[in-house]
A and B are shown apart, each in its own frame.
Chain A
Amino acid sequence: MSLRADYSISEIYGFEQKIRVLRPLFSSGVSAGFPSPAEDYIEQRLDLNELLIKNPAATFFVRVNGDSMIGAGINHNDILIVDRSLEPVSGKIVIAIINGEFTVKKLIKHGHSCKLVAENPAYPTVELTEESSCEIWGVVTCSINQF
């Protein structure tokens, strides 16, 4: 390392300069010619966040492992958008905690009883009784399937 070699001159003859020099920084080119006729019509660009995320503070992303929800259009390896601020009403697809594990199911409520349903005939429905511990972690609003 040749740190000493380029020891700057200013440090040896350090002095304080009292004059403030302001130089303009041009961030855009100086226009020469006609302004773009589209300029007045430019609006904001489309933003997927705006479309898909209503409540950023309550929104989380999770990844799906398995095929028990393919009937709802949720495939293995999809990314789900989960909004914790939404009420888990009957018919919603939810992230539930069953036996300490995150799982994705459709919530069906009938009066006081409710069940967690898979959207794939190969998987059984989980009936929720008072004893079985189940907590709804959040409501799924969207599934992202990247090809």
Chain B
Amino acid sequence: MNKVFALIDCNNFYASCERLFRPELQGKPIVVLSNNDGCIVARSNEAKALGLSMGAPYFKNKALIRKHNVQVFSSNYALYGDLSHRVMRVLQDMEPDVEIYSIDEAFISLPAGNNLAAYAKSMKARVEKYVGIPVSIGIAPTKTLAKIANRFAKKNAQHQGAFEIRNHENSDELLSTVGVGEVWGIGRKSTEKLNRQGIHNALQLKNADDQWIRKHLTVTGLRTVMELRGTSCLPLDHSLPTKKSIISSRSFGSPVNTLPDLREAIATHIAIAAEKLRKQKSAAGSIHVFIYTNRFKKDTPQYAGNIMMTLSQPSACTPTIIKSALQGLERIYKPGYAYNKAGIMITELVPQNHLQQNLFCSENIENTPLMATVDRINTRWGRNTLQFAAAGLAKPWGMKQAHKSPAYTTNWPDIPVVTASF
């Protein structure tokens, strides 16, 4: 049976999540900031109309934001994660073949048919009713075209949030209006190459010479071209690829000078990463530790230290990894610098069930139940209910999150209040 792809994409997802529990913000401009309140990472349509751009630094736009009374939110990943999960669940209840592509996008494989745009509209209506998050749906014979169809669904109000691209019907005319750089999988470097070759829009890319594409954009680029021609090369991907490495790093709210503060930061990052590590049932073979001064402050002394520590045997045990990481930190730490970022990357991941036993260390036998208990408690009662003493309690280096909304759906004291007094 012939299949087509639908791409469901949540509109202005983070901003929509914030608005769901703040009905008075209907129709008002909203922006959501990145970790540490650095950049704008999501905008409501009203904020887009004011000219606030994606990725723009918050501090540079403060005047504009104040002038138009734009509501500002720090990222609230507990909220976005929960609502994302709900959206995906509604989709999975409707369709058996769903690929969760990102926090706010899913591909669905559908049997080809006649009235798919109408069906897409019913899907859209269901997600919006059940979860309260507006979505747009693009349908096409390939994933790459579905991405483009989604863009039209979103941009042109007359499509009412759902749009289908069919082979040999409307596709060529539409593709000529899409820049190559906007095609899924075509990055900045490829765009430059294509532009130099006189290829500026998706239609020109579709009709490009196979040999040239293969030579300059490799087989990956050729796949994209085939997909533009309506030949599906990218099936739904259900394997959540186990990560090869896990990174946790963050800029400090204010610069950090002392080793004890850095120790706490590194231990906290390890705790976060090790939990993820255990969730995917892996163990780490080595850890990179890095600390940076602020490279944008040219007038202050600059230093960047990093080191790789190898564990005597792969481990998923937080205390073991913290111990090794802190040894590394002591070796790279230099006093007298104002550090503004610290982080870790755990690598050489191996599946836990392939662990080799080391004669000198019995930690995996001893600690597995302990770590499982720690993870269970933290999942149930919220992150950091149980934490490792090395991670510290005060966290003076913590994140700047001046505008964070409550965890409306994941923390009892934070649930929304409804009035019964009028």
- Taking Cβ atoms with an 8 Å cutoff, the residues of A that contact B are 1, 3-4, 7-11, 14, 16-21, 23, 25, 55-58, 60-69, 74, 76, 79-80, 84-85, 95, 97, 99-104, 118, 123, 135, 137
Contact = CB atoms under 8 A, between A and B. Distances in A.
B360 A9 contact: yes
B131 interface: yes
Contacts of A55: 130
**Chain B CB within 10 Å, residue with most, of A16, A56, A60:** A60
Interface string B81-123: 0000111011001000000000000000000000000000000
A49 to B, nearest CB: 14
5 contacts: A19-B357, A20-B354, A66-B420, A66-B422, A103-B418
Interface in B363-418: 365, 408-409, 412, 415-418
Nearest to B360: A10
Contacts of A64: 417-418, 420
Interface string B328-360: 001000000000000000000000001011111
A8 B360 contact: yes
B324 to A, nearest CB: 9
Nearest to A75: B420
B326 interface: yes
B328 to A, nearest CB: 10
Given A4-B327, A61-B415, A68-B420, 19 more contacts: A3-B323, A3-B326, A8-B360, A9-B360, A10-B313, A10-B361, A17-B359, A21-B357, A55-B130, A56-B89, A58-B129, A58-B131, A65-B418, A80-B418, A85-B129, A100-B25, A102-B419, A104-B420, A123-B421
B130 A85 contact: yes
B26 interface: yes
Interface residues of B, number: 41
B95 to A, nearest CB: 14
Contacts of B87: 57
**Chain B CB within 10 Å, residue with most, of A57, A62, A79:** A57
A145 to B, nearest CB: 13
A41 to B, nearest CB: 28
Contacts of B169: none
B418 A95 contact: yes
Nearest to A13: B360
Given A1-B326, A103-B419, A58 B130 contact: yes
